[in-house]
Amino acid sequence: MQQLYCNQIQRVSINAGPRNEQLYEITRELLNPDLNYVNIRNACAALLNFFCGITGFDPEDKQNQEHCSTAAGLAVSPYAAMSCITDMMRTRNFMMGIQDAILSRRQQYPRDPVLVFYAGTGPFASLLIPLTTVFTPDQLQMVLVDINPISTACVQRIVEDLALQPYVKAIETADATQYKIPEQYQPDILLTETMKAGLLKEPQFTICAHLLPQCKKDPILIPESIAVGLCISRNKNKELSEKKSLASLIRLDRELFDQSLVAQDALKRILEGVLVQFPDDLLDNQHKIVLETSIRIFRAHQLKHNESGLTIPVLLNSFLQECHPLSTWRFRYRISSEPYFEMSKE
């Protein structure tokens, strides 16, 4: 299925300006199924330059570096959001996954354009705007939302400069954790990448929890699934480490918010906490306790261990030293201005 989709990459010619052409060349490289790290890195750097050139975005400007705090997590600054492009496997795999999700939805509903609701675009809506070079407005429509007005102003500039208005239903400055989805913006695909490894600090969880129950068209959620687990890892030598999984703490997917009894139980387990029994005998100073994150973007498109900043292990550093002997602990996901895991001894 994946190969079939990737072979379908074609330049669409509704906008034939030199900038659209340049964007197509970058996009083609990022959607290329043959893995070439140098090419991907260069394409991500070119994409960043491309958007900076259009918007005149100044990374040194202090305003572009200010984070914004909300009750459900940190909205990172436009500068930090922009920098995500250079997390190259993240950018490439998301873009490929979104492309396949659009194609899959079109197979299901061939007559209608696919509406992507993008919550947390950053200043460049960089995971979606490039796909306007391979889909027509009859195939792809978008609603672009960010809490930061600097970001939405940049996105507006990009849309105007590239004449992408036919693709765009709306650009809105709004908090996605409070947003009420109007009937005409009901998504086929709900896209949000508002997270750090371990689902810490940023509001991905609450954005999904707030938006998904409002969706009526059974949308594809991207990422389809984010799993956070607790592991013990031990370095064997410089390259190799042993890893032992201790517990699954969160699986964030569409089903978690479908109101079923199973979903209610799963949600309760996350928010009330997961009990973890530590094997005392296994632990010494060579062992580390870490949060591991794995991300399925769409079907075969994933981000595996260490492949991206989103899937690096998060070391619960002092935990092991301070709490030894460890026995049984509760790990509870807490939504706050910087979501975190509260750890308490049972």
Ligand X SMILES: C[S@@+](CC[C@H](N)C(=O)[O-])C[C@H]1O[C@@H](n2cnc3c(N)ncnc32)[C@H](O)[C@@H]1O
Name the residue nearer to ligand X (CB basis): 101 or 320: 101
E strand spans, the chain: 68-70, 73-75, 114-119, 140-146, 168-173, 189-191, 220-222, 225-235, 241-253, 274-277, 287-298, 301-303, 314-315, 328-334, 340-345
Instruction: Give 221's strand partners.
Output: 190
- Quick one: which of 44, 95, 145, 159 contacts ligand X (CB under 6 A)? 145
Q: Residue 309 has which token pair?
A: 């900043």
Site for ligand X in 211-250 (CB under 6 A): none
Is the CB of residue 222 less than 8 Å from the CB of residue 151?
Answer: no
Taking CB under 6 A as the rule, does residue 122 contact ligand X?
Answer: yes
Taking CB under 6 A as the rule, does residue 64 contact ligand X?
Answer: no
Burial (0-12, 13-18, 19+ Cβ within 10 Å), 22: middle
- Quick one: which of 12, 40, 81, 266 contacts ligand X (CB under 6 A)? 81
- For the chain, the helix, strand and coil percentages under 3-state DSSP, each to the nearest 5: 40, 25, 35
Taking CB under 6 A as the rule, does residue 127 contact ligand X?
Answer: yes
- Quick one: which of 55, 126, 293, 311 contacts ligand X (CB under 6 A)? 126
- Quick one: which of 30, 43, 103, 119 contacts ligand X (CB under 6 A)? 119
Would you give the binding string for ligand X spanning residues 148-177, x where CB under 6 A is met?
x--x-----------------------xxx
Q: Residue 149 has which token pair?
A: 């007005």
Measuring CA to CA, how many Å separate 122 from each of 82, 153, 222? 6, 10, 16
Q: Residue 295 has which token pair?
A: 């991300």
Would you give the binding string for ligand X spanning residues 192-211, x where CB under 6 A is met?
-xx--------x---x----
- Quick one: which of 30, 43, 44, 84 contacts ligand X (CB under 6 A)? 84
Residue 206, classed as helix, strand or coil, is helix
Name the residue nearer to ligand X (CB basis): 23 or 246: 23
* Chain residue at closest Cβ approach to ligand X: 120
Binding residues for ligand X, rule: CB under 6 A, are 70, 75-76, 81, 84-85, 119-122, 126-127, 145-148, 151, 175-177, 193-194, 203, 207
